[in-house]
Copies of this chain bind each other. A is one copy, B any other.
Amino acid sequence: MKNIKGVRIRCKNTGQHMNIDYTEAANIIRNCKSAYILIHQSPDGDCIGAGTALYHILKYLGKKAKVVCPDEIPERYGFMRKGYIDEDFEPDFIISTDVADANLLGALKEEYGNQVGLCIDHHISNTGYAEKTLLRPDASATCELIYELMEILEVPLTDDITRCIYTGIATDTGCFKYENTTARCHEIVANLKRCCNICYARINRDMFDVKSRGRMKIERFVSDIMEYYLNDQCTMICVTSDILDEMNVDSSELEGLAGIPLQVEGVEVGVTIKQKDEDSYKISMRSANDVNVSEICASLGGGGHVKAAGCLLHGTLDEVKKKIVDAVEEGIKKCSATA
């Protein structure tokens, strides 16, 4: 999907923004003639699913539509493009789906960053860069919002739309595994399954089970170098520059590594250390249950969420490890005291 230069846009962002509800968002969609649908850089299942499902909705409603992404759509998500026909036109309206911040538009930011008329998103961190925003932080995925809009707009479910919405919800909830998996999202999937008989299990397999040989190698390696601290309540993997060189893998293969130290039975805090420079290290910390890693990382100068946080530490690797273990020990103690 190429970025089309020099289009005229009907809605210019005035610098003010407004949160709107489903009905108003549906009205905006009903009233536009043609639209570009922007999705974020490093596109994932939810933004591709939401953008492409919205494309099908607009087409059903007789409008021109085009999904525009600053990056290539990875091959593994290619199945969601079934039924999508890319065409060039000048849009009268710009919509973004699943884009929390104009900076996530990457190369598209300069041209469209302040021209988004409607943003549809579920990230609580949404910066309000669009003129109007349909924001539902309680939703598991932006695809959930697209589904609700579709019901209001009385657009019938097709296999193409179902494939997109299902994939978005499944990928953003870790196949219904994470805390953000709501009753509503199970209800939506029940409706999808009642209406359309696509191969859901195949999507799940491709999204969650299949790994490249490179990724398998990394996971094996990571398990090999895993270190155990604090009576095995804290696990740590440390990816130094030397190790990266030695493994000779693409850096994209390193995503999601932070979850691996948490897989070990009995572990409360999993830590991933990635070397940035000679003496600086990026730390990702994950909590399995009740230990507050946001507080632990704050005590180390960082921050984040209760169950997933991070910080940047300087020093020798041994110094960095000691700082982390001391802080985690403190955090575990605090958690036990309040339990």
Contact = CB atoms under 8 A, between A and B. Distances in A.
Interface of A: 175-179, 181-184, 186-187, 189-194, 200-202, 204-205, 208-213, 216, 219-220, 223-224, 232, 259, 262-265, 288-289
A181 B232 CA distance: 36
A339 to B, nearest CB: 14
A191 to B, nearest CB: 8
B176 A211 contact: no
A262 B176 contact: no
A213 B267 CA distance: 11
B194 A183 contact: yes
Given A176-B189, A176-B204, A210-B264, 7 more contacts: A177-B208, A183-B189, A183-B190, A183-B193, A183-B194, A186-B186, A186-B190
Contacts of A289: 202
Nearest to A226: B216
A311 B193 CA distance: 35
A217 to B, nearest CB: 8
B201 A265 contact: no
A289 B205 CA distance: 9
Given A176-B175, A183-B194, A264 B201 contact: no
B288 A205 contact: yes
Contacts of A191: 183
Given A190-B190, A220-B224, A211 B177 contact: no
A15 to B, nearest CB: 39
Given A177-B208, A209-B262, A220-B224, A190 B184 contact: yes
